[in-house]
């Protein structure tokens, strides 16, 4: 939401400059970047707009930035636009406007930050192919957990999502994999044998042979498993989803092979997405990991990168372990709120209202900006199929919260109004972490730790 707002404001300022004869009205602004300012005294967000124009008009970025700043309009959100000597445009937001996001979070709860851009669109995700065995391999677990997470993210931006995995149940083998130790939510576990009972595999075999067989398959052997996969994809295409996402190990994906083959029987290029997974190595048996810990460790990593997870390291209860620090931050916020409830007499007067204007510390502004920017992070994580982006955001939030509750007194009987404002902020930070961990990533958001 913030990013969209700033991009629109930047484009409006650019057009006003063009109308004033400062530059041409046609420029490629696709590389426009919106980033957080590293120092809040300089601004809240920074734009690189001047750099996109300067080289085309023969001026320095600083000169163009000064012109652009004069074409920005101030409103209830934006209070100041500063052109830096380097040529960046630093945007300062109104505190009142930032408070409105906290109030929205209070009102909307778990629905806060969700989008509707996928409304009316359906999406299919195949979370790998499983062996007909009780035990799931670490690599299969990684794909299933990731698939389940991106399904939840895409639902959060409005898509209707169908998530399934396929089981290779050949030769009468009908053992369903045991997924009880994983945090996955499949809509269906599809059996490969049904492709045979519906005559889809024999029909596809004949079709491929008639269309050139081995030549058509670019040197791939026309194996039974390959024909089954082709028949399976063809079946999904007949269900008329708007988008199809296929998750598989990198050594099996072969997008250069599958994409043209898929397009040959009806898929459009923009409908298809292939995500390849690097190997996962675990220091301990899969059964020794709690479902929540395994999900958290897997989802904070890039699936394209090999991943080695050490159980003892993931169980460390100190700030060097990001899995612990995020969960502990949520538990500590809950602890503060319980303390406030036990001291409720301090807030007994009905005349007292938590005045957010008292939240004027840099760290408090940082936490308010996190609430305001959360919808943008959720959207990016969903459209990029990158749950790790949202967990990185949660880790940064947890670090800022640790500093905040360590450096500042949250509950002060001598300053009841400030205490109420800070507790209100704390409560919404708790809600934000709960939304990310539990409601989107399906990771435990504990309310208690022995040391919290």
Nearest-angstrom CA–CA distance, 379 and 391: 13
Q: How far is CA 215 from CA 208, 212, 219, 222, 223, in A?
A: 10, 6, 6, 10, 14
Checking 193-197 for CB contacts under 8 A at 24+ apart, the result is 193/169, 195/228, 195/231, 195/232, 195/235
Span(s) in the chain for CATH 3.30.1360.70 = 2-93
In this prediction, residue 344 carries a pLDDT of 55
Kindly give the parts of the chain with pLDDT less than 50.
212-220, 349-350
81-103 burial code (b ≥16 CB/10 A, e <16): bbbbeebbbbbbbbbebbbbbbe
Q: Is 50 exposed, middle or buried, given 0-12, 13-18 or 19+ CB atoms closer than 10 A? A: buried
Query: Nearest-5° angle of CA 338, CA 446, CA 317?
Result: 110
Nearest-angstrom CA–CA distance, 394 and 433: 7
Q: Which tokens go with 21?
A: 């004869």
Give 245's Cβ-side CA count (13 Å radius).
24
Superfamily the domain 313-440 falls into: Isoleucyl-tRNA Synthetase; Domain 1 (1.10.730.10)
State the alpha helices, DSSP H only, in 277-386: 291-299, 311-314, 322-342, 362-383
Strands 272-277 and 243-249: parallel
Report yes or no: 403 and 366 within 8 Å, Cβ to Cβ.
no
Nearest-angstrom CA–CA distance, 243 and 237: 9
Query: Nearest-5° angle of CA 246, CA 247, CA 248?
Result: 120
Beta bridge partner(s), residue 80: 92
Report yes or no: 260 and 143 within 8 Å, Cβ to Cβ.
no
How far apart, in Å, do the first and last CA atoms of the chain sit?
34
Span(s) in the chain for CATH 3.40.50.620 = 122-309
Name the CATH architecture for the domain at 2-93.
2-Layer Sandwich (3.30)
Torsion of CA 45, 49, 52, 54, to 10 degrees: -120
State the DSSP string of 112-168. TT---TTTT-EEEEEEEEEESSSSPPHHHHHHHHHHHHHHHHHHHTT-EEEEEEEEE
Superfamily the domain 122-309 falls into: HUPs (3.40.50.620)
CB count within 10 Å of CB 21 equals 7
Q: Which residues contact 15 (CB under 8 A, 6 or more apart)?
A: 25
Query: The tokens 């790998």 sit on which residue?
Result: 128
Span(s) in the chain for CATH 1.10.730.10 = 313-440
């Amino acid at each position: 939401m913030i990013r969209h707002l700033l991009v629109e404001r930047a484009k409006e300022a650019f057009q006003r400059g063009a109308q004033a004869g400062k530059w041409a009205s046609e420029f490629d602004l696709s590389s426009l970047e919106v980033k957080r300012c590293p120092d809040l005294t300089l601004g809240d967000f920074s734009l690189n707009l001047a750099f996109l124009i300067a080289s085309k008009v023969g001026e320095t970025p600083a000169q163009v930035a000064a012109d652009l700043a004069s074409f920005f309009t101030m409103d209830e959100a934006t209070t100041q636009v500063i052109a830096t000597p380097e040529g960046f445009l630093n945007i300062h937001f109104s505190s009142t406007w930032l408070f409105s996001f906290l109030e929205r979070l209070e009102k909307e709860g778990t629905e806060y930050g969700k989008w509707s851009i996928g409304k009316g669109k359906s999406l299919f995700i195949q979370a790998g192919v499983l062996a007909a065995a009780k035990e799931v391999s670490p690599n299969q677990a990684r794909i299933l957990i990731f698939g389940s997470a991106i399904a939840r993210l895409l639902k959060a931006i409005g898509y209707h999502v169908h998530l399934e995995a396929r089981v290779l149940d050949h030769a009468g083998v009908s053992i369903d994999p045991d997924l009880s130790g994983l945090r996955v939510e499949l809509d269906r576990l599809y059996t490969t044998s049904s492709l045979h009972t519906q005559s889809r595999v024999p029909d596809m075999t004949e079709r491929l042979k008639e269309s050139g067989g081995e030549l058509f398959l670019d040197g791939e052997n026309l194996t039974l498993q390959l024909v089954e996969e082709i028949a399976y994809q063809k079946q999904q295409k007949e269900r008329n989803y708007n988008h199809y996402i296929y998750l598989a190990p990198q050594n099996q994906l072969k997008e250069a092979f599958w994409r043209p083959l898929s397009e040959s029987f009806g898929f459009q290029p923009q409908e298809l997405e292939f995500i390849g997974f690097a190997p996962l190595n675990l220091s301990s048996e899969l059964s020794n990991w709690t479902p929540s810990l395994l999900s958290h460790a897997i989802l904070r990593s890039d699936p394209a990168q090999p991943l080695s997870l050490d159980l003892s390291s993931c169980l460390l209860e100190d700030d060097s372990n990001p899995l612990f620090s995020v969960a502990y931050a949520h538990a500590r916020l809950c602890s503060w709120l319980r303390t406030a409830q036990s001291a409720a007499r301090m807030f007994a007067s009905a005349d007292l209202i938590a005045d957010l204007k008292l939240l004027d510390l840099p760290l408090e502004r940082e936490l308010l900006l996190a609430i305001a920017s959360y919808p943008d992070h959720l959207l990016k994580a969903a459209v990029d199929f990158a749950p790790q982006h949202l967990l990185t955001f949660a880790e940064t939030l947890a670090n800022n919260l640790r500093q905040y509750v360590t450096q500042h007194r949250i509950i002060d009987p001598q300053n009841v109004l400030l205490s109420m404002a800070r507790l209100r902020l704390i409560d919404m930070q708790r809600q934000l972490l709960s939304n990310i961990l539990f409601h989107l990533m399906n990771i435990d958001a504990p309310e208690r730790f022995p040391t919290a």
